[in-house]
Structure 1
Amino acid sequence: MSQPSLLSEIKDKHHVFSFMQSQASPVLNVDKQILLYLEGLSVSFDGFKAINDLNLYIRDGELRCIIGPNGAGKTTMMDIITGKTKPDTGSAWFGQTINLLELDEPAIAQAGIGRKFQKPTVFESLSVYDNLVLAMPDERLVFSLLFARLKGEQRDRIDEVMTLIGLQDHSAMRAGSLSHGQKQWLEIGMLLMQKPRLLLVDEPVAGMTHQEMDRTAELLVSLSGSHSVVVVEHDMDFVRQLAGKERTVTVLHQGSVLAEGSMDQVQNNQKVIEVYLGESQ
């Protein structure tokens, strides 16, 4: 592929990585073991209260599943965390020292929050390997990365991530030739190249085969501990698989937390059954 077409491919993408920013990141402090604090958040759009006095706390290294009907506020919540939407009231802190409401989207990404949207956005004309190269944090011009000589530790990091996402045997394959599930894993890998402390993952298994769903569950579980992972999902079978018997599930309804607890506790909560799970019982 010629260089002009490669640059055009990159320039046309809307996927923005934190390595494009050179500003210094605030220092993250999680001495209290809570990575994300959302307190008293409310936001309205044309009179509709999308988020209504929302309180949510995510522990450092936790895997949290968030469910709720359409319009429950899940997307708006993630928009607030990542700086896309500013709330009318409330506070949002990353650890004890980083006020998310004072930062813009690039600064929040650089502080250590990565977001995976439902539809994968990868550079389809590039190889799996080159997609990961472009996702590396680096102060140099992004376009020079593909033509630069990588350091040994950079190559090791790419190999590590490729193995983690299960694409080590497809490093030279064009991303556009991957299956839907593999593209999702590649985008997760691209986020991991940024070494985020918090990963927000939106409906990762939509359109996947059962085998891909199983692999995705294994991947997300493996990321917890070294990362906090918040998964928003509608597929209840996948949520059961991901949450198991011990992980916390949060149910949003009308912009606030309706219930929280283990999957068994949530499934047996009468309010949850009435507003969300009742149709599937």
Structure 2
Amino acid sequence: MSLLESTRNTFRRDQVWSFLAPHEQQVNVDKDMILYVEGLSVSFDGFKALNDLNLYINDGELRCLIGANGAGKTTLMDVITGKTACDTGSVFFGQNIDLLNKDEAEIAQLGIGRKFQKPTVFEEQTVFSNLELSLKSDKGVLPTLWAKLTPTQLDRIDEVLTTIGLKQQCFMLAGALSHGQKQWLEIGMLLAAEPRLLLIDEPVAGMTAQETERTAELLTSLAGDHTVIVVEHDMEFVRSLARTVTVLHQGSVLAEGTMDQIQNHPDVIEVYLGEDASLTSSTKAGESYL
């Protein structure tokens, strides 16, 4: 074996020296709850983006967050992922991990992945390369320099390609994909990192009806093995997911339940349509606000 081959094997991703490998803190979900948000408040120049917000997410569930612009949806996701500091409150990942004491990189390493509305893929790289770059592995200089995909990692990429429906586009440049396919690829990039919790922001914006339907199927299939929180304005899409819906208003939780329960909730009707309106008879008007 040559010196080069010996060195490459030394730094294979599945044989990284223990002192180089990142320490992983295991999330405790003994109570079947993966996210605890309590008393969370965030102010920007006197404006309360979040106002004593409480939110609890079960392990493996698919939850939809809806609400008008300025309701606090993006700010909540920013706090969970370490992008924005809060004024008061607590955010725990499982029972044991205080996310407010972690930075963005540490939170991602814990298994929390976020997808923004606009797809951010490496357009000059192939679909395969995008997924390879996203694999959960030591990103240190030496391990990355001498990296070689293992059979397990190749299987993982193949599994993700199957899940997101892009096996035929495996060696296509990401920039040549349709808008919907780029969205699926970015979801695949999150999956390649093996997250426990996925935060998905407006995944179907700009999609065709067929792509929207496929995205609903994809996100539904992920629930169970992953916990998925979806922020979305398309109410027909939210209804198709058929999971618990949380309505935010002025930085707090206004209502929570199934889509049918939400559309007939008196507080939601009053806030978004006025006291005498009915979401059951004015669904389209209500959906344009939510």
Q: Same fold (TM over 0.5)?
A: yes
Structure 2 unaligned segments of length 5 or more: list them: 1-19, 274-278, 280-284
Give, as a single letter, the amino acid of the residue that structure 2 aligns with 1:77: L
Matching of residues 214-225 of structure 1 within 5 Å: 214-225=213-224
* Residue of structure 2 in register with 1:254 after alignment: 250
Q: In the TM superposition, what is the alpha-carbon distance from 1:145 to its structure 2 partner?
A: 5.6
Following the alignment from structure 2 to structure 1, what is the Cα–Cα distance between the partners of residues 141 and 114? 20
- SS of 1:170's partner is coil
The answer to whether the aligner puts 1:280 opposite 2:289 as a matched pair is: no
- SS of 2:91's partner is strand
- SS of 1:168's partner is coil
Provide closer, same or farther for how the CA distance between residues 169 and 142 of structure 1 changes in structure 2, counting only shifts above 3 A.
Answer: farther
Number of equivalent positions: 258
Give, as a single letter, the amino acid of the residue that structure 1 aligns with 2:115: K
The answer to whether the aligner puts 1:232 opposite 2:231 as a matched pair is: yes
Deviating beyond 6 angstroms after TM superposition, the runs of 4 or more aligned structure 1 residues are none
Following the alignment from structure 1 to structure 2, what is the Cα–Cα distance between the partners of residues 188 and 153? 20
Q: In the TM superposition, what is the alpha-carbon distance from 1:144 to its structure 2 partner?
A: 7.7
Following the alignment from structure 2 to structure 1, what is the Cα–Cα distance between the partners of residues 201 and 218? 15
TM-score by length of 2: 0.85
Q: Which has the larger radius of gyration?
A: 2
Q: In the TM superposition, what is the alpha-carbon distance from 1:271 to its structure 2 partner?
A: 1.7
Q: In the TM superposition, what is the alpha-carbon distance from 1:185 to its structure 2 partner?
A: 0.4
Q: In the TM superposition, what is the alpha-carbon distance from 1:27 to its structure 2 partner?
A: 2.0
Following the alignment from structure 2 to structure 1, what is the Cα–Cα distance between the partners of residues 168 and 139? 29
* Residue of structure 1 in register with 2:263 after alignment: 267
The answer to whether the aligner puts 1:85 opposite 2:89 as a matched pair is: no
Give, as a single letter, the amino acid of the residue that structure 1 aligns with 2:152: E
Following the alignment from structure 2 to structure 1, what is the Cα–Cα distance between the partners of residues 259 and 270? 16
User: RMSD value over aligned CA atoms?
Assistant: 1.8
Following the alignment from structure 2 to structure 1, what is the Cα–Cα distance between the partners of residues 27 and 200? 21
Matching of residues 21-170 of structure 1 within 5 Å: 23-141=22-140, 148-170=147-169
1:224-275: per-residue Cα shift (whole Å, max 9, x none)?
A: 0000000000001101111x2xx21000000000000111100001221232
Q: Which moved more, 1:262-271 or 1:220-229?
A: 262-271
CA contact (8 A) 1:162 1:189 kept: yes
1:142-179: per-residue Cα shift (whole Å, max 9, x none)?
A: 79869843111111000000000000110010000000
Give, as a single letter, the amino acid of the residue that structure 2 aligns with 1:47: G
1:39-91: per-residue Cα shift (whole Å, max 9, x none)?
A: 00001000000000000000000000110000000000000000111110000
Provide closer, same or farther for how the CA distance between residues 266 and 129 of structure 1 changes in structure 2, counting only shifts above 3 A.
Answer: same
Following the alignment from structure 1 to structure 2, what is the Cα–Cα distance between the partners of residues 223 and 139? 25
Following the alignment from structure 1 to structure 2, what is the Cα–Cα distance between the partners of residues 80 and 235? 24
Following the alignment from structure 2 to structure 1, what is the Cα–Cα distance between the partners of residues 209 and 142? 37
Following the alignment from structure 2 to structure 1, what is the Cα–Cα distance between the partners of residues 189 and 237? 23
Following the alignment from structure 1 to structure 2, what is the Cα–Cα distance between the partners of residues 202 and 98? 24
Provide closer, same or farther for how the CA distance between residues 80 and 181 of structure 1 changes in structure 2, counting only shifts above 3 A.
Answer: same
Following the alignment from structure 1 to structure 2, what is the Cα–Cα distance between the partners of residues 81 and 25? 18
Give, as a single letter, the amino acid of the residue that structure 2 aligns with 1:272: V
Provide closer, same or farther for how the CA distance between residues 118 and 196 of structure 1 changes in structure 2, counting only shifts above 3 A.
Answer: same
Give, as a single letter, the amino acid of the residue that structure 1 aligns with 2:264: N
